[in-house]
């Protein structure tokens, strides 16, 4: 490629029904194009305060430390682990998909000791196994799990898992990248200690930011650390100085101003709709999609009680070239759906109905396009 | 604040002449509002390839590993340190401002041993002191310094410092957050091993991304590490799999799609103008600004040969309330300039002429506004 051939990039207009990013609300795109202002501008600081209130609403928490990390969900995950895990800490990780494995990587890189509690990909985390692991490891001090496994479309019972962890005096780290805004996430009621999510799934925002929230118990642990947090960029002791309350903000890093405009707008939209209404919409569109999927003879990989309404794992029928279907959807319909990952590669499609993508138009479009392609290939 | 009172955020329209973010080019804002597509979409992967070529041009390098880190400049700095510094590594840091201190924090958090070579804030790094430090520490293996100190408006002689480091068989890590696109940065010619910058200064883009580039020597060191990189998010061994060449991209994290559209557009604009022309424009506008500043009786903190044309450190005259001047510029003129930091707090203003903000209109507007306010306050 020669540099002189490079022009302004004008992307194709897609319908995003993969595992994320999902369709961005047009109001969010508009917000991101608004004039950039300084990261210490009083107008921006007011916006940050609003953003915290809006995120507290989305997470259903009064936690003061509720902010967006200035980087994607993977950095939000790392923010939780590097701040809470000290060398030698024993962390029980319930794994039932890709992202539990990433948690293990995080714990190891913090010098912690991961204890894996493994469930099959495609089923929910088994609470009894967690209970057993905690009984066998009385010195564990953190439990981590994924609420909504993006790699499989499975939802686990966060409330019960947190209750068990707390009973064994462990802090909890919960991944809600794919659940926040799509299905109930109740930080205070479930007493979650550290939680992270992503902007690009059920919040209808662009990718690049990771909302996080930390309980008082978590903050106590962070403030009482023996060792410094290994990441300067993600050290909450420093980040709190910038996002903290009060008019005096200590410069830490330059916030991604326009991305934060987008997240602010996405959360205003969520508030206007109402969180419960957003959850109900995701459920309704999932049921509509499900009826259509079953009508065309396809089936779900995940059993009904464990299904995430916003991320549908559909079993690829025997003899169908799953990659070809995705390719045709993209090329002929500008419609993106996702492939399976890891042990489910080639076996499932992952079809997202998240955020602004969770609407009747997308449900019917996807069903129509899949029907046409599968008939054509039969 | 009650959540029901929170509306869509419509920022004031500012002129950004602080230490960054600087004025964003209107084409960049427009690009960021374009439709989001998937991070594995073939159209997006093509855009990534273009972005690498454009960044190679901006950095004047053929380095294959030339990419934007999906987070602000501070994360780009951390990316360089966590990948290159292993526990026990001795790193010589030339410090002449805030950001050298941040480098020290990074080295310590990586388990490295920082050797500080300190110069006064407001003057360039002394090459002789570096030479002496290298002679006194023959086991040092990395030299790090800031090319353009955003906290003081000082430029150091990166070419000479890199030459000395190389002669002592050290890798170099160079901060060009404020120089890239504004003054010459020549990675290959100067044989820099690891370099990072920011999107929000002389590139006319919004904040949130950090262009980085690594030499073959740097990659060798990264691949030969004894220990894993402590950050999963910033581990280049993993990041390379996503940004690497070839059609198969391994999913690492979800890229900040729309922010990358913005950076792509900013770099297309830079290419259209031509790098040398951009450097000349920054110099010309600096000279115009300088003439005006001197005409109204103000002076520069930094001696002429060390000045950054894109970031002017102006000495606050005796008896002038510097914060009041900034406040009035912001409130009455919607014009942002910066305060001094650390030992220069209260003593200087930092006035940026970076990227799209480096134009005659801004020069004259700022001079006019300052003249009015200073006359009024006299």
For A64-85, the pLDDT digits (tens) are: 999 999 999 999 999 999 999 9
Using alpha carbons, select from A198, A162, A202, A197 the residue that is nearest to residue A183: A202
A316 with A329: CB under 8 angstroms?
no
Q: Which of B14, B37, B265 sits opposite A35 (nearest CB)?
A: B14
Closest residue, chain B, to A21 (C-alpha): B38
B105 with B252: CB under 8 angstroms?
no
pTM for the model stands at: 0.98
- pLDDT level of residue B245 (50, 70, 90 thresholds): low
Q: Please list every residue in chain B whose beta carbon sits closer than 8 Å to the beta carbon of residue A73.
A: 253-254
Asked whether the beta carbons of residue A207 and residue B72 sit closer than 8 angstroms, the reply is: no
Q: Please list every residue in chain A whose beta carbon sits closer than 8 Å to the beta carbon of residue B232.
A: 74, 78, 102, 105-106, 109
The verdict on A70 touching B (C-beta cutoff 8 Å) is yes
Q: Chain A interface, mutation test: which of B2, B6, B68, B249, most A Cβ atoms within 10 Å?
A: B6
Question: Is the reported ipTM for this assembly greater than 0.95?
Answer: yes
Helical spans, DSSP H, in chain A:
26-32, 42-59, 73-84, 98-109, 127-136, 158-167, 187-190, 216-223, 236-243, 257-273, 275-295, 322-333, 360-377
User: pLDDT: is B246 or A368 the higher one?
Assistant: A368
The per-residue pLDDT for range B69-128, each reduced to its tens digit, is 999 999 999 999 999 999 999 999 999 999 999 999 999 999 999 999 999 999 999 999
Q: Please list every residue in chain B whose beta carbon sits closer than 8 Å to the beta carbon of residue A43.
A: 11-12
A-to-B residue pairs, Cβ atoms closer than 8 angstroms: 271
Asked whether the beta carbons of residue B73 and residue A109 sit closer than 8 angstroms, the reply is: no
Q: Chain A interface, mutation test: which of B42, B50, B108, B208, most A Cβ atoms within 10 Å?
A: B208
Asked whether the beta carbons of residue B208 and residue A208 sit closer than 8 angstroms, the reply is: yes
CATH 3.90.1150.10 fits B15-21+275-377, yes or no: yes
Q: Which of A23, A105, A259 sits opposite B256 (nearest CB)?
A: A259
Q: How far is B167 from chain A (nearest CA, A)?
A: 31
The verdict on A73 touching B (C-beta cutoff 8 Å) is yes
Q: Point out the residues of chain A with pLDDT beneath 50.
A: none
Which residues on neighbouring strands pair with residue A311, listed in sequence order?
A: A308, A352
Backbone angles phi, psi at A154, to 5 degrees: -105, 140
Asked whether the beta carbons of residue B21 and residue A9 sit closer than 8 angstroms, the reply is: no
Residue A156 vs residues A92, A162, A189, A213: alpha-carbon distances, Å = 16, 11, 16, 19
CATH class entry, domain A26-271 = alpha beta
The verdict on B44 touching A (C-beta cutoff 8 Å) is yes
The per-residue pLDDT for range B273-326, each reduced to its tens digit, is 999 999 999 999 999 999 999 999 999 999 999 999 999 999 999 999 999 999
The verdict on B24 touching A (C-beta cutoff 8 Å) is yes
The per-residue pLDDT for range B218-233, each reduced to its tens digit, is 999 999 999 999 999 9
Poorest-confidence range of A263-267, B133-137, B297-301, B341-345? B341-345
A306 with A123: CB under 8 angstroms?
yes
Average pLDDT, chain B: 97
In chain B, where the domains are located: 15-21+275-377, 26-271
Backbone angles phi, psi at A337, to 5 degrees: -125, 170
The per-residue pLDDT for range B161-180, each reduced to its tens digit, is 999 999 999 999 999 999 99
Q: Chain B interface, mutation test: which of A32, A103, A273, most B Cβ atoms within 10 Å?
A: A32
pLDDT at A1: 84
Closest residue, chain B, to A58 (C-alpha): B3
Interface of A with B in 190-229 (CB under 8 A): 198, 200, 206-208, 228-229
pLDDT at A251: 84
Which residues on neighbouring strands pair with residue B142, listed in sequence order?
A: B91, B171
| Tokens 């590097």 found at | A82
Which residues on neighbouring strands pair with residue A300, listed in sequence order?
A: A314
Q: Please list every residue in chain A whose beta carbon sits closer than 8 Å to the beta carbon of residue B261.
A: 9, 11
- The H or E element spanning position B240 is helix B236-243
Pairing outcome for strands A142-146 and A148-149: unpaired
Q: How far is A378 from chain B (nearest CA, A)?
A: 26
- pLDDT level of residue B240 (50, 70, 90 thresholds): confident
Closest residue, chain B, to A5 (C-alpha): B50
């Amino acid at each position: 490629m020669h540099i002189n051939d490079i022009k302004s990039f004008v992307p194709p207009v897609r319908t995003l029904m993969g595992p994320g990013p999902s369709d961005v609300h047009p109001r969010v795109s508009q917000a991101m194009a608004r004039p950039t202002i300084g990261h210490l501008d009083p107008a921006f600081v007011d916006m940050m305060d609003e953003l915290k209130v809006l995120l507290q609403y989305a997470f259903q928490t009064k936690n003061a430390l509720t902010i967006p990390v200035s980087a994607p969900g993977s950095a939000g995950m790392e923010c939780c682990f590097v701040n809470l895990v000290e060398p030698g800490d024993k962390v029980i990780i319930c794994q039932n998909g890709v992202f539990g494995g990433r948690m293990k990587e995080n714990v190891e890189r913090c010098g912690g000791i991961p204890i894996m509690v493994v469930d099959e990909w495609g089923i929910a985390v088994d609470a009894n196994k967690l209970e057993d692991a905690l009984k066998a490891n009385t010195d564990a001090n953190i439990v981590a799990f994924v609420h909504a496994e993006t790699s499989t479309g499975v939802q686990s019972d966060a409330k019960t898992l947190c209750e068990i962890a707390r009973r064994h005096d462990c802090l909890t780290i919960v991944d809600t990248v794919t659940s926040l805004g799509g299905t109930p996430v109740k930080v205070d009621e479930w007493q979650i200690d550290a939680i992270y999510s992503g902007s690009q799934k059920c919040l209808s925002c662009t990718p690049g930011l990771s909302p996080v929230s930390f309980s008082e118990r978590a903050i106590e642990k962070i403030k009482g650390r023996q060792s410094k947090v290994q990441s300067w960029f993600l050290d909450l002791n420093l980040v709190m100085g910038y996002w903290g309350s009060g008019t005096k903000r200590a410069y830490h890093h330059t916030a991604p101003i326009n991305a934060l405009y987008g997240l602010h707008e996405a959360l205003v939209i969520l508030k206007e709709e109402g969180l419960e209404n957003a959850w109900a919409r995701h459920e309704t569109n999932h049921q509509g999609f499900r009826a259509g999927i079953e009508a065309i003879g396809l089936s779900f990989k995940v059993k009904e009680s464990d299904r995430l309404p916003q991320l549908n794992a559909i079993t690829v029928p025997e003899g169908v070239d799953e990659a070809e279907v995705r390719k045709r959807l993209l090329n002929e319909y500008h419609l993106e759906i996702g492939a399976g990952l890891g042990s489910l590669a080639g076996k499932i499609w992952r079809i997202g109905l998240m955020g602004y993508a969770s609407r009747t138009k997308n449900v019917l479009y996807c069903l129509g396009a899949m029907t046409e392609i599968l008939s054509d290939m039969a």
